[in-house]
A and B are shown apart, each in its own frame.
Chain A
Amino acid sequence: MSLLELDGVKVHFPIKKGVLVDRTVGHVYAVDGVSLKVEAGETYGLVGESGCGKTTLGRSVLRLVDITEGSVVLDGTDLAKLPGEEMRRFRRRLQMVFQDPLGSLNPRQNIESILSEGMIAHGIGKDQEERREKIKAILDKVGLPSNALARYPHEFSGGQRQRIGIARALVLEPDVIICDEPVSALDVSVQAQVINLLEELQKELGLTYLVIAHDLAVVRHISDTIGVMYLGSLVEEAPSDALYAEPKHPYTKALMSAVPVPDPEVEDKRERILLTGDLPSPANPPSGCRFHTRCPWAQAERCATERPQLRDIGGGHRVACHYAEDIASGKLSLTKGEVVSATREGVEDNPEPDDPETGTSAEDTPAKIPAQAEKTAKDEKPAEASEEPEKAV
């Protein structure tokens, strides 16, 4: 059995209206039936456009949002059914690293106090002396000096703050760590350091990760298995290499086609699938296949009426598409959208000013899902991390 199993997880946020008495006028179907398994010691990467429900899914695992339906089973225990106090105690085994390193640290607590909080809550260490020893050991593991203890979050750089966030999760010795866009708020130069740290810690401590990201390069680099989300559900799941080698779902194909390939010859022939239409609102998702409003291969009738289930189509791929095999074999042709040469002028798919000719490896190139490129650029600006370079520690 897998360490963490999600089965048919749904999180629906009610949309309320009304002055005196709140009326529910609809729901945001943020997560709408996700089933996945995370194996012990492995990393599951979750990718998808902004607003597709990645964060909500991650939070539902920790029950930070109410689970509308479905089960989250950690090591045989269904968390969705645990009463409050038991869930609180269970949180020790499931920890979270947040996207915004500064916002997730209480500005009025010093590092020692921040890192002690969880230990106190779970009765770890008999006195502060003992806790401090443990905290020092963890700080050393994440590469922070022990004189950090008495300092406050604002005194650290972005990368260091994220290390504090990781240390905070580690002191509880969790089995699973959920990383919600752990590096997207960080300066590009610091991103790799933090990712490497996460990898080292996994090797050393046998951690299991659920990594959420919109950056395909980051996810590919550290994931064993990747799940692609679209409008609240998984559209494809496959081992990392298999997914990158041959994406099967039309949505995954479109995402991947935007990622430059390191091999210049392949890169020259790379084709870019341009999606038409906007991302539908999760409050009013399309009928049938959620992707049919934008799918370049959408077929009349069936795609608009019948919702495809995630099914195994061989090669480790689980795909939620009625026509996955036919699309793979080339039997179906495009019904809308456009396939263009990625290197054609005017097709800007890679916001980073790097030249594929130089043979930069895709791992080092933070390729962005096009829909997110703009958002990411915005996100990176306010992060103070970009002003002060990571102090080597």
Chain B
Amino acid sequence: MSVATKTDKIQRLAELTATKETSTGASLWREAFRRLKSSKMAIIGAVIIAVFVVIAVVGPYLTPYAPTAQTWRGEVFPNQGKFVGPRGENWFGLDHLGRDMFSRMLVGARQTLLVGVVSTLIGLVAGFLIGGLSGAAATLGGEAGKRVDSVIMRFIDMMLALPSLLLAVSVAAVMGQSLTTVMIAVGVVQVPVFARLLRGSMLAQGGADYVLAAQSLGVRKRRIVTSQIVPNSLSPVIVQATLSLATAIIEAAALSYLGLGNPDPAIPEWGVMLAQAQRFFDNAPMMAVYPAVGIIITALGFTLLGEAMREALDPKLRG
């Protein structure tokens, strides 16, 4: 995705809050929710997410075997081209070290959810602070504020222009190999997206009459930002957060695949599992298929719900 379309997309999402329909605030969401309920995309997305979250939360307690247990040492020998496929005791078969794939997938689900949520939160919180500051400066800070805003935005645009994986790899390279690294690296990539989105949305709200009304009431600027502008600027941010969960999961998997993920075998992660499976792809393709399908399906779930939410909120996309 080129920088221009990326920026345009963020801008469009930000503008949604400024559309006429928003003036009926609460009913906008009610209306959007009604649309969501009748959208197949949203329902499929929500079901996938629900199943994934349940698996991620309770799954690790239900594993038939410990993810590191190599009880079947006799059956599988490292790198000898012999693998145990799915069978009664091991639904997904064994991996190259004789560990139960099903158990590892369950534990991995939690890791994947954790990476997705934490890195999105990192991006959300940092982006929220930067975008909020920028938006507040631009809307209520006068001339000086506009200058602060444009400096911040140039910086954000620079970050946005860097290919996200490159940015993530550079962060990971600096911080070394661990799960935290992956989460931070993926989170950093989301920062400019959230910052630009919130700022754009706040700018759209900044000119609204109710903001002017609050000013004329003598409400303090800080309170106008926190109690008037920001709450009305959140809808696109919520949509973006849903979409970001999908991106984060894929990007985290990509980083793990590139060898930057958590090397600890006790807490398998789908991306790492995928990377390890690569060596045995010729003999045991299923070892790669399980984590790959897991990643694809969960990312799909978040994307479906996010896109459906975006459509439900966007009057231009409504039929």
Contacts and interface: CB of A to CB of B under 8 A. Distances in A.
B89 interface: no
A95, A96, A106, A122: residue with the most chain B Cβ atoms closer than 10 Å: A106
B23 A102 contact: yes
B24 A107 contact: yes
Given A103-B209, A104-B210, A96 B216 contact: yes
Nearest to B214: A117
Contacts of A90: 218
A60 to B, nearest CB: 12
B142 to A, nearest CB: 8
Interface string A39-67: 00000000000000000000100101000
Given A107-B23, A154-B26, A172 B209 contact: no
A88 interface: yes
Nearest to B205: A106
B249 to A, nearest CB: 31
A152 B209 CA distance: 16
Interface in A140-155: 152-154
Interface string B211-235: 0111111111001000110011000
A209 interface: no
Contact of B210 (A88, A94, A105, A154): A105
B193 to A, nearest CB: 23
A154 B232 contact: no
A91 interface: yes
B209 A104 contact: yes
B86 interface: no
A108 interface: yes
Contacts of B213: 96, 98, 104-105, 165, 168
B217 A172 contact: yes
A153 B208 CA distance: 15
B64 interface: no
Given A96-B213, A100-B209, A117-B214, A107 B219 contact: no
A382 B231 CA distance: 25
Contact of A117 (B22, B217, B231): B217
A91 B217 contact: yes
B218 A107 contact: no
Interface in A108-155: 108-109, 117-118, 120-122, 152-154
A81 interface: no
Given A103-B208, A108-B231, A117 B27 contact: no
Interface in B1-46: 20, 22-28
B219 A64 contact: no
Contacts of A117: 214, 217, 219, 227
Contacts of A103: 23, 208-210
Contacts of A153: 24-25
Contacts of A88: 218, 220
A92 interface: yes
Contacts of B220: 88, 121
A378 interface: no
A325 B218 CA distance: 46
A23 interface: no
A89 interface: yes
Contact of B209 (A94, A98, A118, A168): A98
B218 A152 contact: no
Nearest to A59: B212
A152 B26 CA distance: 8
B27 A154 contact: yes
Interface of A: 59, 62, 64, 88-92, 94-96, 98-100, 102-109, 117-118, 120-122, 152-154, 165, 168, 172, 382
Given A92-B218, A102-B24, A121-B219, 11 more contacts: A64-B212, A88-B218, A88-B220, A100-B209, A103-B23, A106-B210, A121-B217, A152-B25, A153-B24, A154-B25, A154-B27
Q: Which 3 residue pairs spanning A and B have beta carbons closest together?
A: A107-B25, A118-B217, A91-B218
